[in-house]
A = this chain, B = another copy of it.
Amino acid sequence: MELLKQRIREEGHVLGDKVLKVDSFLNHQIDPVLMMEVGEEFARRFADAGVTKILTIESSGIAAAMTAALKMDVKVVFARKKKSALMNEEVYMTKVHSFTKNETNEVTVLKKFLGANEKVLIIDDFLANGEAAMGLAHLVEQAGSEVVGIGIVIEKAFQDGGKRLRQHGFKVESLARIAAFTDGQVQFVEECVQA
C-alpha cells in the first residue's frame, strides 16, 4: 500500500536494527484518514473471504480493525490483555508474550462475542514474531470458528512471524512489508516478492 509506505518513510523512526516507531499515525497518535484507507485496503484484499467478524487485540489494533469492519459491514471484537472486573462471564483465554514489552499477558475474549462457525479476519498493527496473531488464532480455534485471513498493517518480514503464520496455512496480507532497516532507513520488500 503505497500511501502507507510513504508515511512510514516520512514519519517512521528506526531504532537499532529491529524497531520501527510509527507512533505519529498508528499506535499512539492516530491519523483517522489514513486508518480509513487502511480499512478499505483490508476490505479489498479480503473481499472474497466471506468475513463475518473481525478480531483484534487492544490497543493498537483497534483503529485499523474498526475501519476494516466498517468497510466490510461486520462487527469487531478486541481481545483484552487484562481481564476486566466486569468480564464475569465465560471467556476464551490464551497467553501472548510481547517481546516489545517483555511481558506475557492472558488474552481473553468473552465467549458470547466469538461464536462457532464464524469466518474471522484477524487484524493487528504489527507482525514481528507472530505471537499476538497466533494467540488470536488460538482463540478463534477454541470457539470452533475459522480464521479466514490475517491482516497486518506493518510486517517486519525479517522476523519469523510472517513465515510462521503462512506455514500454518493462514492467508496473511500485510500492507507494508519491511525487509530490513539499513543505516536507519526502511527497506521494503519488493512488491514482486510479495505476490
Question: What are the 6 A-B residue pairs with the smallest beta carbon separation, nearest first?
Answer: A58-B59, A32-B70, A59-B59, A32-B69, A29-B113, A29-B77
Partner of A30, one of B31, B75, B80, B82: B75
Min C-beta distance of A12 to chain B, whole Å = 12
Main secondary structure of the interface of A (DSSP, over half): mixed
Residue A84 CB within 8 A of the other chain? yes
A-B contact pairs, 17 of them (CB 8 A): A19-B86, A23-B87, A24-B113, A25-B75, A28-B109, A29-B75, A29-B113, A30-B76, A30-B78, A32-B66, A32-B76, A33-B70, A36-B70, A59-B80, A66-B67, A85-B101, A85-B102
**Given A86-B21, A86-B100, A110-B23, A28:B78 Cβ within 8 A:** yes
Min C-beta distance of A181 to chain B, whole Å = 14
Residue A35 CB within 8 A of the other chain? yes
**Given A28-B78, A30-B75, A84:B66 Cβ within 8 A:** no
Beta-carbon contact of A84 and B70 below 8 Å: no
Number of interface residues of A (CB under 8 A): 39
Residue A128 CB within 8 A of the other chain? no
With a CB–CB cut-off of 8 A, which chain B residues contact A110?
A: 23, 28
Q: Mark A96-114, 1 if CB is under 8 A from B, else 0.
A: 0000111000000110010
